[in-house]
Structure 1
Amino acid sequence: MAIELLTRRNLHNLSLHSHKQIQNLIKTQSFLFSANPNSHPENNSQYRKQVSLANLLQRYGFSQPQLHSFLKRSHFLLNSNLHDIEKSFGMLLSFKIPQKPLVSLIYDCPAVLDYEFLKKWEVGVSKFGNLGVLLSPLAHRNVLESSKKFQVDPDEVCRAVNVLKGLGFCNGTVNRVLEGFSRLVLMKDSEIYRKVDYLVKFGIRREGVDRVLNLFPGILGLGIEDRLNPLLDEFRDLGFCKNMVRNEIIREPKILSMELGELSRCLEMFRTLKCREPIKYKIFSEGVFRAGIEVKLRVDCLCNHGLIRREAFKVLWKEPRVIVYDIKDIEKKIEFLVSRMRFDIGCLVEVPEYLGVNFEKQIVPRYNVIEYLNSKGALDCEVRLKDMIKLSRLRFFNLFVKPYPECERFFTRFTGDVPVRKQTVGLWKLFKPQKQPNTEDDSKAMRSFMESLV
């Protein structure tokens, strides 16, 4: 009896823990069979190989959507030995690449699973150790992808790394360059020396060059005659001195990624900027040049999330508070807008105020109220982002919170969780003389005065 109970309990636990894996396996097999409808699974070795490959990929972190699209465009893996593919995964894990970057590497460049290619890189990693460089997991990922795509041997990568170490750059800077600029493996030694000498001749000290490459490794890919020289000439023509530009480059090297005319466009926007004086004071507190750099960084942030540059400038012009907000706060709001609220990034062009209001005090409470009402079916029409953000606090409360008392727990302003400020006492109450009690002597004096009048 004890053995029977133990067996039943183990089977029950196994079914609970493996239910999700079984569902994924069924979906995978259904997808693979639908791709070969004329073949029977039991008699098709190709099908069984597809199933084995799919199980192997799922074991190392591939999701269901990634798996389907990956198998559609990676048929060459079916002609490879599954044992070698599994050993390739083991080699990649030995490089200590985290699971998410590892999956993205294989998804973007399936050829990196080539076993012979990874055996060469296993030898190349030891050469990096001889140079005194310990590659980070992300640097490993990018170097492997670029080496396979460009057909570059580990010796070529070691040569580029040796050039950087010979110039005196620290291990952290070398890793940042390999992480952020994959085309380093294609550059000649003379090109690397020339870019570094250009920064030194501009007046940036060697430790400053180390910082520039660490924060903006993409500068190695910018041309001197066709990009850097015209950009610095534009800064000079706008009235900014060389010392100011040099200090700002050391502080924020990404200004060298500006397009020609981009800073002029920022300055033009400042001339027509309409905002309150305290906001304008914060924007220009460190000078016009620094303000232009802050605009450029936020335009890049918005463009990275899907807006075009014209739309990004329009958002900043309509909502200048975004210029003084931290970029991490902006990205946090955009992530919440797209992932949680399910709005398109283009809604920011219509409602730029979303990036200007407080996240914890306004965006989250209002979203929670609307989400709760939608779940209860209390809303007859769709609430747009404009309706959620542009309404005043009292107007939003009267429309969505007051008719539904249970929503007050989401709206802390009116529940007592946040104390409500009392109305200021009027001046007429402060200056009103205090009333003094009448004594017996006062009463006698008043009677005697009245009797004298009679």
Structure 2
Amino acid sequence: MAMLIRNIKTRPPFLLLFRSIYAPVHFIPYPNSQSFSTAPKSHQKNLIPVSNLFQRYGFPPSELPHFLKKNQFLLNSNTPEIEKSLKILSSLNPSQDFVVSVLCSCPSVLELEFLEKWQLGISELGISNISIMAIRNILEFSRKYDLKPDDVFRCIKCLKRLGFRENTVTRVLEAVPMVIMSSEEKIRGKTEFLIRIGIQKKEIDRVVCSFPGILAFGVENRLKPLIDEFEDLGYSLSEVRREVIRDPRILGLENGEFSQCLKLLKSLRCRLPIKENIFRHGAFRAGYEVKIRVDCLRKHGLIYRDAFTVLWKEPRVILYEIEEIEKKIEFLVQEMEFDVQCLVEVPEYLGVHLGKQIFPRFNVIKHLRSIGGLGDEVGLRDLIKLSRLRFYNRYVKPYSECEQIYGRFGGGSEVRSRHPVGMWKLFKPQNHPKSNEDSRNIKSYMESLA
């Protein structure tokens, strides 16, 4: 028995990896991996050298079984060729994160013939501090569309001829690598369009660096109709230019989207101070703030109509920062375990303070749920819409241990009075001494009543 235990402890790591891929499911040390028990024997022969090779180039051992199962062609490939490909790939950027990132995104770049074309290509791009993401996008896009290094060189030279700095070129390759396939005429057409709407040549570089996606849009079918929509809504080109310079992402609006945002703003029913704060920088900027928050809600799972409904019911969300909204949604879904669709029914959740109201109330409900102190499950509506005093009387006051959890009305916390101590004396009526005449008048009044 001791010999068996000693053998298990000294078992080579590659055997554990072998078993994690080919053994039955109940022996797999990584629960997310699946069995390779039906893999061909030719694959099994290459498993150990290929696995060791990928680990040597920084691939995490915990992710290797799933990666090899998903890309079984690697196990049937020539191991020396894979090693040559990995060596070329790592020479493009020495970071191990780069190799792993490229392999996870597009494993087919390991084709030796493809990488040999790029062995000296990256250094000849003429960009001194090109980012890992830009190199990865170039390789992935070139592999997908069978592009040659000369195609990428041509695009970069075109961008530089148009006056874009290296930093802007890198941002374009990171965000919209499809620009590689665009002709110089098309790219130039977009810069000329910016000039026509009032953007100066020296400002174009900053606009494209802030929003490189503009180079992926068509002028006639996307950008020009957008400017026409702004003009139809009553905005001059000078106003549009000012807002584009402030935030170039405005040019990413879809046709008709801005009109819907302004329509929502006109129909708002909220307190005057809130509405004035929403329009403090003008209707144009207010409409774009609506668009940003609609995109945020859609990103987290709401459909377009429901996102507008949430903003219409709770206009304060238009005033909150995107980071704050995302923190509340993340807490709602991950910690409170509610569906994001609950926001349509209880949009007030996004309008209350996360630290001062949501945290303490949820902690109380979580504690009561753990000790069986809740008769019925508390929904998001009861959790948010109850007044501070009603929530305290219903869920905190009957349980002494909840005083400290809730904090606001806890026994150790001091509740501030509405007015400073002694203020009541200023509102107390003065007590004047009664005169003989007052006594006679009171007596006469009582006799008249009798």
Cα deviations by residue, 1:261-299 (Å, 9 ceiling, x for unpaired):
211111211222011222111100011111001111111
Structure 1 pair 75–194 and aligned structure 2 pair: CA distance change class (3 A) = same
1:252 matched residue in structure 2: 247
Q: Does 1:347 align with 2:332?
A: no
1:5 matched residue in structure 2: none
Which stretch shows the higher mean deviation, 137-146 or 82-91? 82-91
Q: Does 1:301 align with 2:296?
A: yes
The residue type paired with residue 75 of structure 2 is: L
Which stretch shows the higher mean deviation, 394-403 or 84-93? 84-93
Match of 2:214 among 219, 222, 238: 219
TM-score norm. by structure 1 comes to 0.79
Match of 1:76 among 73, 80, 91: 73
Tell me if the contact between 2:349 and 2:384 (Cα under 8 Å) persists in the aligned partners: yes
Cα distance in 2 for partners of 1:180, 1:386 equals 41
The residue type paired with residue 397 of structure 2 is: K
Tell me if the contact between 2:187 and 2:215 (Cα under 8 Å) persists in the aligned partners: yes
Cα distance in 1 for partners of 2:94, 2:346 equals 40
SS of 1:414 mapped into structure 2: coil
Q: Does 1:61 align with 2:56?
A: no
Cα deviations by residue, 1:197-223 (Å, 9 ceiling, x for unpaired):
111122101232112211211111111
Measured after TM superposition, the shift of residue 395 of structure 1 is 2.7
Tell me if the contact between 1:180 and 1:217 (Cα under 8 Å) persists in the aligned partners: yes
Tell me if the contact between 1:248 and 1:290 (Cα under 8 Å) persists in the aligned partners: yes
Q: Does 1:316 align with 2:315?
A: no
Cα distance in 2 for partners of 1:418, 1:174 equals 57
5 Å-filtered alignment, 1:396-411, equals 396-411=391-406
Cα distance in 2 for partners of 1:391, 1:100 equals 49
Cα distance in 1 for partners of 2:312, 2:113 equals 55
2:326 matched residue in structure 1: 331
Tell me if the contact between 1:318 and 1:352 (Cα under 8 Å) persists in the aligned partners: yes
Cα distance in 2 for partners of 1:300, 1:270 equals 16
Which stretch shows the higher mean deviation, 153-162 or 239-248? 153-162
2:205 matched residue in structure 1: 210
Measured after TM superposition, the shift of residue 76 of structure 1 is 1.8
Cα distance in 1 for partners of 2:215, 2:225 equals 16
TM-score norm. by structure 2 comes to 0.80
Cα distance in 1 for partners of 2:278, 2:51 equals 54
Which stretch shows the higher mean deviation, 22-31 or 363-372? 22-31
Tell me if the contact between 2:46 and 2:76 (Cα under 8 Å) persists in the aligned partners: no
5 Å-filtered alignment, 1:433-452, equals none
Measured after TM superposition, the shift of residue 237 of structure 1 is 0.9
Match of 1:285 among 280, 283, 293: 280
Measured after TM superposition, the shift of residue 233 of structure 1 is 0.9
Measured after TM superposition, the shift of residue 90 of structure 1 is 5.3
Measured after TM superposition, the shift of residue 84 of structure 1 is 4.2
Cα distance in 2 for partners of 1:261, 1:416 equals 56
Number of aligned pairs? Answer: 414
Identity %: 50
Cα distance in 1 for partners of 2:152, 2:314 equals 46
Match of 2:120 among 123, 148, 171: 123
Cα distance in 2 for partners of 1:216, 1:311 equals 27
The residue type paired with residue 292 of structure 1 is: G
Tell me if the contact between 2:43 and 2:76 (Cα under 8 Å) persists in the aligned partners: no
Which stretch shows the higher mean deviation, 86-95 or 328-337? 86-95
Cα distance in 2 for partners of 1:164, 1:177 equals 10
1:190 matched residue in structure 2: 185
SS of 1:122 mapped into structure 2: coil
Measured after TM superposition, the shift of residue 26 of structure 1 is 5.5
Measured after TM superposition, the shift of residue 164 of structure 1 is 1.3
SS of 1:203 mapped into structure 2: coil
Mark the runs of 5 or more structure 1 residues left unpaired by the alignment.
1-10, 436-454
SS of 2:268 mapped into structure 1: coil
Structure 1 pair 387–118 and aligned structure 2 pair: CA distance change class (3 A) = farther
Tell me if the contact between 1:354 and 1:389 (Cα under 8 Å) persists in the aligned partners: yes
Q: Does 1:229 align with 2:224?
A: yes
Cα distance in 1 for partners of 2:359, 2:85 equals 45
Which stretch shows the higher mean deviation, 387-396 or 294-303? 387-396
SS of 2:121 mapped into structure 1: helix
Cα distance in 2 for partners of 1:340, 1:23 equals 36
SS of 1:413 mapped into structure 2: coil
Cα RMSD (Å): 3.5
Measured after TM superposition, the shift of residue 336 of structure 1 is 2.5
Cα distance in 2 for partners of 1:415, 1:87 equals 67
The residue type paired with residue 109 of structure 1 is: C
1:240 matched residue in structure 2: 235
Mark the runs of 5 or more structure 2 residues left unpaired by the alignment.
1-5, 29-33, 432-450
Cα distance in 2 for partners of 1:202, 1:324 equals 29
